[in-house]
Amino acid sequence: MKDRASRSTWPECGPFDAIVVTAALGEVPPSLIEQLKVGGRLVMPVGSAYTTQTLTVVEKTGPGETAKRAVGLVRFVPFTRSKD
């Protein structure tokens, strides 16, 4: 089963040095980490909708390896998809 954000990704143009997600998800989607270059960073709010979330930075440190750190508390709108 694909993760929730996988249909919003752009694998044919990656891998990327950086990815910024501007809506909250409950967890970091594996499909986004897969699209990072080694040394690349993903920044996104992680947590439940309409509550305080954690602004999270994930750095891809090697193939299949990441380092994750929380950098602050934030409140973003939830990640949603259109009905189309």
Structure confidence at residue 2 (pLDDT)? 47
Residue 30 per-residue DSSP state: H
Give the containing element (helix H, strand E) for 74.
strand 65-74
Q: What is the pLDDT of residue 10?
A: 62
Beta-bridge partners for 41: 18, 59
Q: Which of 7, 49, 51, 57 is nearest to 28 (CA)?
A: 57
pLDDT at 83: 61
pLDDT the model gives residue 1? 34
Residue 1 corresponds to which tokens in the numbers above? 């089963």
pLDDT for residue 38: 97
Digits of tens for pLDDT over the chain (84 positions)?
345 454 555 666 779 999 999 999 999 999 999 999 999 999 999 999 889 999 999 999 999 999 999 999 999 999 887 665
pLDDT score, position 81? 73
